[in-house]
Amino acid sequence: MKKVTGLGGVFFKCDDPKAMNEWYAKNLGLPTTDYGATFEWRHADNPAKKGSSAWCTFPKDTEYFKPSTKPFMINYRVEDIEALVAELKKDNVTIIDEVVDSEYGKFVHILDPEGNVIELWEAADEFDSNLEG
């Protein structure tokens, strides 16, 4: 079974997300918005298929990374998230929540052995689609 297929995103806490977004835009050229930046790319095994990875700043008091106390969270792109969660449960991996289906795709959060929250993401079709032309 294919598990992680790529990096979905990097999320980190900061004192002033707006100022950080502006700094990264000015100094490193990241195409930031209020939510961070999105990087589009093509699949190596199927160049007609595109995907995206996110870079996002969060306020330092965000609850989104809980139960981890770390200032960052990594999001990994996966295929067949339900089957992967079933496999992880068999291996006694800590599953923090249930799979949630949203407009962006399906998400679930797990913990690694050192307490880092990992977000798993099965992209919705519009975030992982075939390009025209």
pLDDT at 35: 86
Residues above pLDDT 90, as percent of the chain: 78
Domain hosting residue 71, numbered range: 4-127
Rounded distance between C-alpha atoms, residue 3 and residue 34, angstroms: 31
- Report whether 43 contacts 6 (CB < 8 A): no
pLDDT at 50: 87
Determine, yes or no, domain membership for 54.
Answer: yes
Determine, yes or no, domain membership for 97.
Answer: yes
Determine, yes or no, domain membership for 132.
Answer: no
Domain count across the chain = 1
Rounded distance between C-alpha atoms, residue 45 and residue 43, angstroms: 6
**Pairing label, strands 46-59, 72-78:** unpaired
Determine, yes or no, domain membership for 95.
Answer: yes
Phi, psi of 131 (to 5 degrees): -85, 145
The string of pLDDT tens digits covering residues 61-119 is: 999 999 999 999 999 999 999 999 999 999 999 999 999 999 999 999 999 999 999 99
Average pLDDT, the chain: 91
- Report whether 51 contacts 35 (CB < 8 A): no
Q: Give one word for 80, left, alpha or beta, with left for phi > 0 and alpha for psi -120 to 50.
A: left
- On the question of pLDDT at 133 being above 50, the answer is no
Determine, yes or no, domain membership for 91.
Answer: yes
Tell me 125's DSSP state: G
Determine, yes or no, domain membership for 133.
Answer: no
Q: For residue 26, what is the domain's CATH number? A: 3.10.180.10
Determine, yes or no, domain membership for 78.
Answer: yes
What residues form DSSP beta bridges with 42? Answer: 50
- On the question of pLDDT at 10 being above 60, the answer is yes
